Amino acid sequence: MQLGSMPLLKRWRLEQEAITFAVVLLLVILLAWGSPAFLDSNNLDSLQTSMAPNMIIAIGMMVLFIVGLFDLSVGAVMGLSGIITALVLSAGYGMGAAIACGLGVGIGIGLINGLLVAVFGINHLIATLGVMYMTRGVIEVLLLGAPLAGFTSFPLAFTMLGNGSIVGVYWMFLFALALVVVGEFVLRRTVLGRRLYFTGGNHDAARLIGIDTKRMQIGALVFSGFMAALAGVLVTARIGMANRYLGIGLEMNIIIACLVGGGSIAGGKGSAIGAMLGVAFISLITNAFNLFEVPSEWQSSVIGAVLVVVVAIDGILLLRKQRVSWQTILGWRSPRRNSATLPAE
Amino acid sequence: MTEATSMAVATSALAERGRRHLGPLPLLVVTAALCLFLGLTRENFFSASNLYSLVYGVSIECLAVFAFTYVMVLREIDLSVGAVYALAGVMSGYLLLEGVPMWGAITIALAAAALVGLINGLLVVRLRVNSLMLTIGTMLLVRGLVGVMTTTLRGNTFPRPFRALSREQLFGVNVSIVAMVVLAIAAILFQQRSVLFRHMCYIGENLRSAVIYGVRADRIKVMAFVASSFMAGVAGIYTASRITHADANMGLGMEFTMITAAVLGGASLYGGRGNAAASMLGLFLIAVLINGMAMYDIEPVFQQFVIGALLITTVAADTILKRRG
């Protein structure tokens, strides 16, 4: 098909993003219509400040999805970098030094992940999971005996990072949006972006045409660690204390957001806009639970169900692309008769 | 602390290196050596009550790791075991307090557990989805249900006949220990004698050629997922009976202990091999390690760290072995 004659969304590879956008829009309309508290400025504030860090992490995670990896340690990295920043600040160092330390932690852990995955060839699930456990261990050790809400005296300039706003829009949120725009530009319009897609789309082919796929993988993991650390610093500035529970279970929400926003576990697919929309979706769902006062225990179930449905749809779309008939997918016809349904290599 | 960690690292690396030729023997030696070390340096390690509670605790998890290992042999993974374990336990308690007779409650809870496995299995074979992502989804879904039921139960103690289940004895020891021994022997026989196990290895090694040669891969996979959930359910009900009340955190992180144990026991993330009896031994090693850390008064927060390190080391060794072999 000629590029010019393709539908716009297909040409820009934004088909799934468009669906997510429609769903997000629908959710916004339903919430605004169903709950008067939704458009309340308090609610909008909390929506923005919960979305912004998640968007930042999701951009990093989406880059990982594009190269065909994911990172389970982001929640723990976010927690640790926030705590390190708080510790350095309360030790009397300046704000710049504290933030640099926090971000350094993220880069360091990302580098460890990258080396484990790309150099030692360890399965990324296990590597990042082990690193997550170890990072959580470090957090507990660092805060051993510390009060639950320790380290609360931050300089005003630092707390403004998380609390400053202009006409009701938080700086933090604007910053996250700017990162989405920059991320989208890099992914679409630069050689680096192209290489990332090639690495995830077909690893061997990418290596054969001279892309250093190992470096791409390490770079993506370092980037994701850095973004998680950035989010950790911002959240610490927002809540004004070191919190040892920061980011627990966050990795799953981010992964689900990326899947909803058009990423694929198989790699080679995804966009920064998709990451943003996916996070908006998850945040709105969570917000809906709070507004309609659904017991929080149900949240995990609904998010799990969303993940199952998204993974199933991803699978069906992939099979349809391989021209497997609906009858075979649903099991109405014996699959063993049909060579087209043999599992791929 | 450093002693325990370096020991764990050294031991697992050792266990991996020799495994290809020696089977689970190195793991056995390492576990025995660790036991000996703890026994010599801490006087109460070899006390009957400590050893018995160690074996008893492990025996329950062994029920679940048995089928879990075979899912890994098929080159799939089932991360929902921990959640299903909690579901079966909490659900049977929930039904009991709703007035359902005991065996009815247990049957329904086990059926629910098996149903989760069936859904996992069918989605994996029909839609060819990645079992890792899918079972994370079912894990979250089931965890949510467990949370809802636990909140309803509000820490009520389960009825006496249900609590008595876990105190049931056979040959002078708890039933679960007998079950563990039986399962270990069954696993060894199954792995050495049965065609089904060989087919399972073929599926894990190369799904496509296994299917071409007429192995009914789909059916075997669904069966393995159902078995994994079912056994997790059995273990969960037993544990619920043991701890006497509903606990939302039951089985949290259990899936990763299972992976570590299975890989220690010779299974691979890349499928094609595995030994359920050795996985049980792997669970023992982990339990002894944690027990030893407690005896040396190491902060419990370090346990997470050590399990994480153990997981990475064993899988790294597995990966390097795979590359060389």
- Residue A202 sits in a domain of what CATH number? 1.10.3470.10
Residue type present at position A67: V
Kindly report the number of other CB atoms within 10 A of residue B151's CB atom.
14
| Chain A / chain B CB contacts < 8 angstroms | 152
Compute the nearest-CA separation of A73 from chain B (Å): 12
Sorted by sequence, the CB contacts under 8 Å of residue A68 that are 6+ apart come out as: A199, A200, A203, A266, A267, A268
In a shared domain, residues A110 and A247: yes
In angstroms, the separation between the Cα of residue A331 and the nearest Cα of chain B is 7
Contact call for A304 and B301, based on CB within 8 A? no
Whether A29 and A156 share a structural domain? yes
**Domain final residue, candidates A278, A294, A310:** A294
Are residues A246 and A334 both part of a single domain? no
In a domain, A322, yes or no: yes
Residue in this structure with the two tokens 């360890």, named with its chain if needed: A122
**Residue A150: DSSP 8-state:** -
Q: How far apart are CA A201 and CA A185, in angstroms?
A: 19
Closest CA to B264 of B4, B65, B60, B91: B65
How far is A115 from chain B, CA to nearest CA, in Å?
Answer: 12
- State the total domains in chain A: 2
Same domain, A261 and A241: yes
Q: Which residue of B has its CA nearest to A327?
A: B126
| Alpha carbon distance B310, B246 (integer Å) | 30
pLDDT given at position A299: 81
Sign of CA dihedral A196, A201, A202, A208: negative
- Check A297 against B144: CB less than 8 A apart: yes
Give B48 to chain A, closest Cα distance, Å. 32
Residues A275 and A339 in one domain: no
Nearest to A345 among B144, B208, B269 (CB): B208
Predicted local confidence at residue B108, as pLDDT: 94
The backbone region for B75, taken as left when phi is positive above 0, alpha when psi lies in -120 to 50, beta otherwise, is left
Distance CA A145, CA A187 (A): 45
- Whether the CB of A258 is below 8 Å from some CB of chain B: the reply is no
Give the distance, in angstroms, between the CA of residue B16 and the centroid of all CA atoms in the same chain: 19
Domain that holds residue A323: 300-345
CATH classification of the domain holding B185: 1.10.3470
Whether residue A216 is found in the same domain as residue A345: no
Task: Tell whether A3 is covered by a domain.
Answer: no
pLDDT tens-digit profile, chain B (325 residues): 444 445 454 445 444 444 444 567 778 888 888 888 888 888 788 888 888 888 888 998 899 999 999 999 998 999 999 999 999 999 988 888 888 888 888 999 999 999 999 999 999 988 888 888 889 889 989 988 998 888 887 767 788 877 877 777 777 778 888 888 899 899 888 888 888 888 888 888 888 888 888 888 888 999 999 999 999 999 999 888 888 877 878 888 788 888 888 888 888 888 888 888 889 988 988 888 888 888 887 777 677 777 778 878 877 777 777 665 5
pLDDT of A61 reads 94
Give B154's contacts (C-beta < 8 A, 6+ positions apart): none
d(CA B165, CA B233): 15
Distance from C-alpha of A123 to C-alpha of A125, rounded to nearest angstrom: 6
Buried b (16+ CB within 10 A) or exposed e, B267-281: bbbebbbbbbbbbbb
Q: Which residue of A has its CA nearest to B150?
A: A297
User: Taken in order B227, B230, B232, B234, is the CA torsion positive or negative?
Assistant: negative
Say whether both A237 and A309 belong to one domain: no
pLDDT in 10s for each residue of chain A, 345 residues: 455 666 767 666 777 788 888 889 998 998 888 888 888 888 888 888 889 999 999 999 999 999 999 999 999 999 999 999 988 888 888 888 999 999 999 999 999 999 999 988 888 888 888 898 889 888 888 887 666 556 667 777 888 887 888 877 888 899 999 999 999 999 988 999 999 999 988 888 888 888 898 999 999 999 999 999 999 999 998 888 877 788 888 888 899 899 888 888 878 888 999 999 999 999 998 888 888 888 777 888 888 888 888 888 878 877 877 777 777 777 666 555 444 455 554
pLDDT for the residue numbered B244: 82
Domains contained in chain B, number: 1
**B-interface mutation test, from A77, A83, A126, A131, most B Cβ less than 10 A away:** A126
> In a 3-state reduction of DSSP, which class is residue B201?
helix
Nearest to B309 among A134, A297, A336 (CB): A134
Contact A342 B302 (CB under 8 A): no
Residue pair A72/A224 in contact by the 8 Å Cβ criterion: no
A212 and A122, same structural domain? yes
The pLDDT, as a whole number, for residue B155 is 67
Residues A218 and A190 in one domain: yes
Q: What is the pLDDT of residue A146?
A: 67
Measured CA to CA, the distance from residue A260 to residue A54 in angstroms comes to 14
Tell me: do A327 and A217 sit in the same domain. no
In a domain, A238, yes or no: yes
Q: How high is the pLDDT of residue B32?
A: 85
A304 and A155, same domain (yes or no): no
- CA–CA separation, B213 vs B250, rounded Å? 42
Q: Which amino acid is at A68?
A: G
- Residue B138: which domain range? 2-324
CA distances from B62 to A153, B266, B315 (A): 49, 15, 20
**A-chain residues within 8 Å CB-CB of B312?**
116, 122, 126-127, 130-131
